[in-house]
Amino acid sequence: METSKEIERGLEAFYRDYIEVFNTAEVERFLTYFANPYVSISGDRGIRMVANDAPHASDFTRIMQALKTRGWVRSDIVGIRAWAMDGKLGMIVSDVVRVKENGSILEEIRACYIVRREDAGWKIATTSEIKPPHLGPGDIPRPTRK
């Protein structure tokens, strides 16, 4: 049986892979990181059930095109914290910066994911953004920029 620390290392590796694939903008590969369906939770938009299907693929394509129009070239992980909730359930809080071609920061995002281990591996079951000034689970200080 895996220890909590082993599960947490696996969650961190899963998230690093997820961001690497996000940066490629390869829709089919990106969608393999999500459960079907998954839930997006927002204070502004409420709870939204998302079917991981063809319309979702076109939404992701549209989102990536909008990011590129704003100058985005990649997303970099600034920090990850993961917690094992049981052998098949975990939580990830991440800080990510979206970077422009000139190296400047387009935006900074803190997100929270609940992930579930399925036969094919870890899958994102819920996503939500943690907006400043709130810190989210664990009260982890936000990264400081020089």
CA atoms lying within 13 Å on the CB side of residue 111: 20
Blockwise average pLDDT, block size 10, the chain, 146 residues: 93 97 90 93 89 81 92 96 96 97 95 93 96 90 78
Give the structural domain span for 94.
4-139
For residue 137, the one-letter residue type is P
Read off the pTM: 0.92
Counting the structural domains of the chain, the total is 1
Residue 91 sits in a domain of what CATH number? 3.10.450.50
Q: Is residue 34 domain-resident?
A: yes
Predicted pLDDT at 146: 56
β-pairing verdict for 34-42 and 46-50: antiparallel
